[in-house]
Amino acid sequence: MDFELTPEQKLVRETARKFADQEIIPVARENDALERFPWDLIKKMAPLGFLGATVPEKYGGAGLDYISDAIIFEEVGRGCSSLRTIISVQVSLAEHTILKWGTEEQRQNYLPKLCGGEYLGCFGLTEPGAGSDPASMKTAAARKGDGWVLNGSKTWISTGSLANVAVIFAQADPSKGYKGITAFLVEKGTPGFSSRDITGKMGLRAANTAQLFFEDCFIPGKNLVGSPGEGLKIALDALDNGRFGVAAGCVGIMQGCVDACVKYSKERYQFGRPIASFQLVQDMIARMCVDMDAARLLVYRAGHLKNRGVRNTIETSMAKYFASEAAVRAATDAIQVHGGYGYSNEYPVERYLRDAKVATIYEGTSQIQKLIIGENILGVRAFV
């Protein structure tokens, strides 16, 4: 087992780290405070390949491996989790769904635009009454001529109001239960398709989050993704990619916490000496570093399996579960190290905590991840 990064991966890390330090971090606090979507940063990331890292070059992507993908998510997440969420949805959920399950026409039409930053994408699975239980979704798809008509709604959809194309899941045959769920591509501006922003969020304040509405929304047959009834399979496959991006981004949050605490603890003096010399401060920072390294290795293991084309559901769930919970612990301790200053946005650690918390909820809560892990280990389904 080789833990050394390849020359190409080191170059990706250098490029992503430089971009985060020079472009993302200087504006992250202001974007968060103003709830400002970082359009300028997205446009700057496209030429670097960040918007299509693992998509083949023939479709406009960078053709990188999944370890490089994780490195990008980590470095961007170290700077701003809102921005990391945007590119995670773009690459892991929208692009990879189209790449694996879409037709060649769909790949040629959408992927170059998504990878090049001309289009934004989103992923519409969650509904007001269907979060951890997507099989209970109520959004309906009915055949009409050579297409389909959608009726229903989605909620908590990242980039939902701004996306040019949305991957949407709907129930096409209720008599078949989860085997009736079907996936579609819905373009912005389609009659009957509308959105409404969700505001007042605790974290990810610079990322757009929305409700989506479908009222007699006609979707042409060519926008069907996969085959009718394959929707849940497609969604679960996509979530393996999405959770990978979340986990890697949480490693970035932990790295940000460590960096901030090391700097602050050496500068802050109490009782005539830097607080870095206090044993309990060292204890908190040491725990952050152990958790960070463990999370990074879990992410890299999942990435290694992805590179080999091996099923990685349990490994990705482990990485997402551990990294998200560890990021919350790290951010909580980072605020403690900073004392009263950590409670204000003068330092980034309070933002790290707000942004880390949602990672334990979206794309499968920590509790759902443990049930996935348990089911794979025990061979006994936890879900009815």
pLDDT in tens, 43-78: 999 999 999 999 999 999 999 999 999 999 999 999
264 and 189 within one domain: no
Domain boundary among 196, 215, 231: 231
- 384 part of a folded domain: no
Check whether residue 89 and residue 22 sit in a common domain. yes
Residues 170 and 93 in one domain: no
Task: Judge whether 114 and 150 are in contact, CB under 8 Å.
Answer: no
Q: Residue 323 maps to which CATH number? A: 1.20.140.10
Is residue 79 assigned to a domain? yes
Please state the rounded mean pLDDT for residues 157-183.
95
- CATH number of the domain enclosing 213: 2.40.110.10
CA–CA separation, 124 and 88 (whole Å) = 14
Q: What are phi and psi of 269, to 5 degrees?
A: -110, 135
Judgement on whether residues 250 and 169 belong to the same structural domain of the protein: no
> pLDDT tens across 291-307, in order?
999 999 999 999 999 99
Query: Is the pLDDT confidence value at 381 over 90?
Result: no
Task: Provide the percentage of residues in the chain whose pLDDT is more than 70.
Answer: 99
Among 222, 238, 236, 156, CA closest to 186: 222
Q: Tokens for 34?
A: 């103003």
Burial of 22 (0-12, 13-18, 19+ CB in 10 A): exposed
Final residue of a domain: which of 120, 148, 172?
Answer: 120
Report whether pLDDT(316) > 90: yes
What residue has token string 């509790």?
367
User: Does 87 have pLDDT greater than 90?
Assistant: yes
Q: Is 325 a known active-site residue?
A: no
Boundary (domain end) residue, out of 71, 89, 120 = 120
Question: Could you report how far apart the first and last alpha carbons of the chain are, in Å?
Answer: 39
Instruction: Judge whether residue 42 has pLDDT over 70.
Output: yes
Determine, yes or no, domain membership for 2: no
CA atoms of 244 and 313, how far apart (whole Å): 10
d(CA 253, CA 58): 33
pTM value is 0.94
* Structure confidence at residue 384 (pLDDT): 60
CATH of the domain at 77: 1.10.540.10
Query: Is the same domain home to 280 and 358?
Result: yes
- Chain mean position to CA 240: 11
What are the tens digits of pLDDT across the range 179-225?
999 999 999 999 999 999 999 999 999 999 999 999 999 999 999 99
pLDDT averaged over the chain?
96
Q: Which of 74, 325, 350, 363 is catalytic?
A: 363
Is residue 134 over pLDDT 90? no
Do 12 and 131 share a domain, yes or no? no
CA 45/CA 18 separation, integer angstroms: 12
Mean pLDDT of 23-33: 97
Shared domain check, 282 and 183: no
Residue 148's domain comprises: 122-231
Residue 44, domain member (yes or no): yes
Question: Is the domain of 48 the same as that of 174?
Answer: no
* pLDDT above 90: residue 132: no
Confidence band, pLDDT 50/70/90 cuts, at residue 3: confident
3-state secondary structure the chain: CCCCCCHHHHHHHHHHHHHHHHHHHHHHHHHHHHCCCCHHHHHHHHHHCHHHCCCCHHHCCCCCCHHHHHHHHHHHHHHCHHHHHHHHHHHHHHHHHHHHHCCHHHHHHHHHHHHCCCCCEEEECCECCECCCHHHCCCEEEEECCEEEEEEEEEEEECCCCCCEEEEEEECCHHHHHHHEEEEEEECCCCCEEEEECCCCCCCCCCCEEEEEEEEEEEEHHHEECCCCCHHHHHHHHHHHHHHHHHHHHHHHHHHHHHHHHHHHHHCEECCEEHHHCHHHHHHHHHHHHHHHHHHHHHHHHHHHHHHCCCCHHHHHHHHHHHHHHHHHHHHHHHHHHHHHHHCCCCCHHHHHHHHHHHCCCCCCHHHHHHHHHHHHHCCCCCC
Q: Residue 178, exposed/middle/buried by CB under 10 A (0-12, 13-18, 19+)? A: middle
Task: Say whether both 200 and 240 belong to one domain.
Answer: no
**Residue 372 and residue 319 share a domain:** yes
Distance CA 203, CA 19 (A): 22
CA atoms within 13 A on the CB side of 310: 11
Same domain (yes/no): 333, 216: no
Query: Is 16 in the same domain as 103?
Result: yes
Question: Predicted confidence band at 309 (pLDDT cuts at 50, 70, 90)?
Answer: very high
Total domains present in the chain = 3
Q: Summarize pLDDT for 335-372 with one digit per residue, the tens.
A: 999 999 999 999 999 999 999 999 999 999 999 999 99
Q: Does residue 118 register a pLDDT over 70?
A: yes
Amino acid found at 353 = L
User: Distance between CA atoms of 241 and 12, rounded to whole angstroms?
Assistant: 19
